[in-house]
Chain A
Amino acid sequence: MTDAVTTAVGSDEETEAEEAGRAIDQRTYGFWIYLMSDTIIFALLLATFVVMSHNTAGGPGGHTLFRLPQTFAKTMLLLASSTTFGFVSAAIAVGQRWRVLAWLSVTFLLGLGFIAMEISELYGMAVAGAGPWRSGFLSAFFTLVGSYGTHVSVGLVWIVLSGCEVALRGLNPFVVSRLCRLGLFWHFLDIVWIGIFSVVYLPGIL
């Protein structure tokens, strides 16, 4: 725990390279803390959903709304995109810029596929009279899944921006550190999805 502060021992001042390394380490850690905070938001939304899962107010419930194959397809898209982001990280480690860009593009397309499926699912439900204003249950469902979709969309925008940066500036340490945080974000979102399909979709279909 205290290893981070002993760097300056020996010489009075740390070198600039050490300072840059420390700055990146701090950013990674700060981002990790942010993810913890975001986890609490999702956990509370999930808890709210569970509390309201029977408050259908005479409207449709999960059993009639959720589709197992669709859910499975979405899960697979996310898992695949998480894996391809792993390939991005591996490409960064060996410094192959074009491989980074290629795998980033694949990740982006997979994420986009997920968002497209989610929008069509939510839109289909809303026009079929099962919008978020129909019942407490649907409010909680739309809010949870909508927040998730928003996070993924933010991730997609970030992928595009990072891709541009890699293409224009190459893989300098700051770009790499941003990509690593993007990676943390993307993998973290996949973990949140495990919670969502295990608490919302599968029990709902069951």
Chain B
Amino acid sequence: MLGKLTIDALPFYSDIAMGGALITVVGALGVVALITWLGQWRYLWTEWLTSLNHKKIGIMYVTLALIMLVRGFIDAMMMRTQQAVSLNLQGYLPPAHFDQIFTSHATIMMFFVAMPFLVGLFNFVVPQQIGARDVAFPFMNSVSLWLTASGAALVVVSLVIGKFSAAGWSAYPPYSEAQFSPGVGVDYWIWAILISGVGSILTGINFLVTIVKRRAPGMRLMMMPLFTWTALCTSILIVFAFPALTVAAALLGLDRYLGMHFFTNADGGNVMNYVNLFWIWGHPEIYILLLPAFGIYSEVVATFSGKQLFGHKSLVYATAVITALSLSIWLHHFFTMGASPDVNAFFGRVAPLIAVPTCVMIFDWLFTMYRGRVQLSVPMLFMLGFIVTFVIGGMTGVLLAAAPDDVMRGTTFLTAHFHNIMIPGVLFGYFAGYQYWFPKAFGFQLEERWGRRAFWAWIVGFYLAFLPLYILGFMGMPQRLDRYYVAAWQPYLIVAEGGALLILCGIIFFAIQLAVSIRDRAALAISTGDPWNGRTLEWATTAPPAAYNFAVVPHVHGIDAWWAVKQAGKAGYRPARFHDIIMPGDSSAGIVLGGMSFVFAFAMIWQIWWLAAVGGLGMFSAVLWQTFDDNAERRIPASEVEAIEERRSIAPAFASRAPM
């Protein structure tokens, strides 16, 4: 009746696991109780959970990312602490539990922090930047969100019911095969990846079509803001690279569920095939995460230098070159697998080429700042921190991409390099975007002082946490050790622990910043939709933007369309009359679909076949219900549009600081 699910799935076997489970359950119950106490369920359901408004979906994505960031960071903290104390000792974590933690840390950070964060920013910004009222497929957008959330929920639930995978975030066979990992952990990993992967592919399709087909009249491809360009290239990469992850995870699942022999040791299986498939996705994935961050840096640096972005065209070409190259250099992730010198030499030559367009970008950003009026706002601080730190990450990347140096693979040098790309490269970019677009989303700015404190905690914490790992890599310390016997390593690991603590402060400062900003929202409110004196079209809308973004679709004549409007003195332009605007209505099919996908995956993991059938039928019905409903639209009458626009031209409700 309940498949493999028994009472033993609850973590009575370990105090630490039990503690984690209890915190999760109590936290979830606390949120439910809070919403009930505030009586906000109806509001939450009608205004947010069932909304097809791309801005609200974007905000929900970012919220998911920030929650999961805390969850993933707790894992990181536990690992650092374990390594700081486990010289010659077991430390406080048993090996199997340590393995789960590094697996879930990476899985969460890649799939449920970085991915939702970038998709959330896409959702919020891209339609406004191209002068559109919505994405091409609003319902599919909601489906993507809830599939991603369902995948995240699977990882979180594994904390309470059963165990998570201990096979590393890449789940390399043969260890991840049923023979060596008979529990449900790897199944949790597989289903979380498959479900959120479908969500990602749908997102990729959605934004590709949105950007190609829904740009404002006159906006040619070369006039698109850089963030939109990176969103386009990222979407292309998602559409063409994510299938490889789906295939790799699905074949691993077939091995585990049906006893097939894709990656087993015996009966004709081939482990290396998994590695190959996984990195066909894995390498582009790094650029899927990086390119949007590059886009954000480009927007931020232009706005806060008060200049047009230097070399817009070369940045576009660099983005396109990275996109194309990133699909063809995946082998450098497994030089040591045993390929011949020819193969390794080819990929070893091609891989460092990607440094060329990246350098072009760095120089373009530097030249944008050159002789500009640089304002050191919080987004700009993250941008500057990125430039300095990322250069180190890039250089160590070239070292790793050179086949003869590959002795460093599998050491903490790799860990350090990877985080050097992921934290200053990716996460700082998303943080900059979060700080930059927050006033657009909510109509008030984030408090500056706590933002600066958070920045300094993050960047100093980053250096302290990861530079020691570079050194330890040279000293030969392997990745993912739960204990070690080399006394010389311990001082470095203690320093790294200190760095992690500083990063913890950074996260806490962000939380304080948010709380303080909400408290002082009247003082921080912005009078126009354009607090930073921005250049691109998203600053033309109100803050927060009306559901339709633009009452009149703008006509675009060049790069930095909004700047041109302001220069021409037409920013306050009002049309003679307004028209009805048709927007997508709400739909609860998206969240139902996501919920049913969770039921389905959970049932498949525990092999409760009847429940899987229920979940599958539920997903099918939700899709059917929405597909054949052609009237799912909402008409905003011209009078209402006029009223909204009228309010906009009158002075806003609260007095505000002068725009920066």
Contact = CB atoms under 8 A, between A and B. Distances in A.
Direct contact of A and B (CB under 8 A): yes
Interface string A66-98: 000000000000000000000000000000000
A186 B229 CA distance: 33
Given A4-B213, A136-B270, A12 B553 contact: yes
A9 B243 contact: no
Contacts of A129: none
A134 B209 contact: no
B247 interface: yes
A123 to B, nearest CB: 15
- What class of interface size applies to chain A in its complex with B? 35 or more
A5 B131 CA distance: 11
A199 interface: no
Contact of B277 (A1, A44, A139): A44
A52 B270 contact: yes
B582 A5 contact: no
A139 B250 CA distance: 12
A45 interface: yes
Contact of A19 (B137, B208, B212, B582): B582
Interface in A146-164: 161
Interface in B257-296: 258-262, 264, 266-270, 273, 277, 280
A120 to B, nearest CB: 20
Contacts of A27: 137
Interface string B235-264: 000011011101100010011001111101
Given A30-B136, A30-B209, A133 B220 contact: no
Contacts of B140: 30
A55 B624 contact: no
A129 B579 CA distance: 69
Contacts of A34: 201, 205
B205 A136 contact: no
A119 B213 CA distance: 41
Contact of B208 (A33, A45, A135): A33
A85 B216 CA distance: 36
A33 B268 contact: no
B204 to A, nearest CB: 8
A9 B555 contact: yes
Contacts of A29: 209, 212-213
Contact of B258 (A133, A135, A174): A133
Interface in A37-61: 37-38, 40-41, 44-45, 48, 51-52, 55-57, 59
B214 interface: yes
Contacts of A52: 262, 268, 270, 273
Interface string A115-145: 0000000000000000011111111101100
Q: Say whether chain A's binding surface is mostly helix, strand, loop, or mixed.
A: helix
Contacts of A6: 217-218
Contacts of A140: 262
B60 to A, nearest CB: 22
A60 to B, nearest CB: 12
A37 B213 contact: no
Contact of B205 (A33, A51, A134): A33
B110 to A, nearest CB: 20
B380 to A, nearest CB: 32
Given A5-B216, A33-B205, A40 B244 contact: yes
A25 B251 contact: no
A197 B270 CA distance: 24
Contacts of A198: none
Contacts of B627: 178
B261 A133 contact: yes
A55 B269 CA distance: 7
Contacts of B277: 44, 48
Nearest to A22: B213
Nearest to B254: A143
Nearest to A136: B268
A141 to B, nearest CB: 10
Interface of A: 1-2, 4-9, 12-13, 16, 19, 22, 25-27, 29-30, 33-34, 36-38, 40-41, 44-45, 48, 51-52, 55-57, 59, 132-140, 142-143, 161, 165, 172, 174, 178
25 contacts: A2-B221, A5-B215, A5-B217, A9-B218, A12-B579, A26-B137, A30-B136, A30-B137, A30-B140, A34-B201, A37-B239, A40-B240, A44-B277, A55-B261, A56-B268, A57-B261, A57-B266, A133-B258, A133-B259, A135-B261, A135-B267, A143-B260, A143-B262, A161-B624, A172-B630
Interface of B: 136-137, 140, 201, 204-206, 208-209, 212-221, 239-240, 242-244, 246-247, 251, 254-255, 258-262, 264, 266-270, 273, 277, 280, 552-553, 555, 575, 579, 582, 624, 627-628, 630
Given A5-B214, A7-B217, A136-B264, 10 more contacts: A6-B217, A33-B209, A34-B201, A34-B205, A41-B246, A52-B262, A52-B273, A57-B261, A132-B260, A136-B262
